[in-house]
Structure 1
Amino acid sequence: MDLFELGEMFRHTRIAANKTQQQVAEQSGVTRARISRFETGRLPELGTVKLLSLFEAVGLELFARPIGHGRTLDDVLAEQRTPAVPEIRRRVRVRRSGTGAKTIKKSE
């Protein structure tokens, strides 16, 4: 798991916990701008103390495992106890051409 994936998981968990970036910033001591960059994968590095502080603020834990370690029974049970994170809607902006909207005339 890389920093991008950690940031993505953090974002989903923060939203599920109904917390804003500002609330997490105040609780963790990490700036809101840094949290935003972490969540969007634009943060090149984040120290361990800050990462742990952010995770604690939203109720996540960090586990160290050997690379390639498979899921355990504890993992499966934890997934069953954890409510599913709702799908997040994204806003999409439609770029309009410089000429404006076209009008279509109906013939009578």
Structure 2
Amino acid sequence: MNLAELGEAFRSARMAANLTQQQVADMSGVTRGRISMFETGTLPEIGAVKMLSLFDAVGLELIARRPGHQRTLDDVLIESADSDDTPPRQRVRANALQRLKATEGKS
């Protein structure tokens, strides 16, 4: 993800949280002008501490991964487990193997 894409994700989260740029500025200590530039992709750079502060204000987090890491089913399960509406994380492969073994035992 590049800085412009991070800004887009931030803007979506801010809007979903029903927060104005000024409210986020007050919460994070980052000026409203820099927030506007970040959201529109015109900010040339932003420090890690400021970005983390912005993301924290709207309920986002950054995840560090090795280069080339592909998103896995475990990543999806972890992300969806953050929602109160989803059941606890389960390993699909393990459950499928257990069902297969149970089916074989009935034969």
TM-score, normalised with respect to structure 1: 0.70
- Equivalent position SS for 1:49: helix
- Residue 61 of structure 1 corresponds to 61
Cα distance between partner residues in 1 of 2:40 and 2:78:
26
The one-character-per-residue Cα deviations of 1:69-89 (angstroms, maximum 9, x if unpaired) are 111233212454578xxxxxx
Structure 2 letter corresponding to 1:7: G
Higher relative contact order (CA closer than 8 Å, sequence separation 6+): 1
| Structural mapping, 1:1-108, within 5 Å | 1-80=1-80
Alignment RMSD: 1.6
Gaps of 5+ in 2: 84-107
Q: Would you say how many aligned residue pairs link Structure 1 and Structure 2?
A: 83
Structure 2 letter corresponding to 1:43: L
Q: Which one has the bigger helix percentage?
A: 2
Gaps of 5+ in 1: 84-108
Structure 2 letter corresponding to 1:2: N
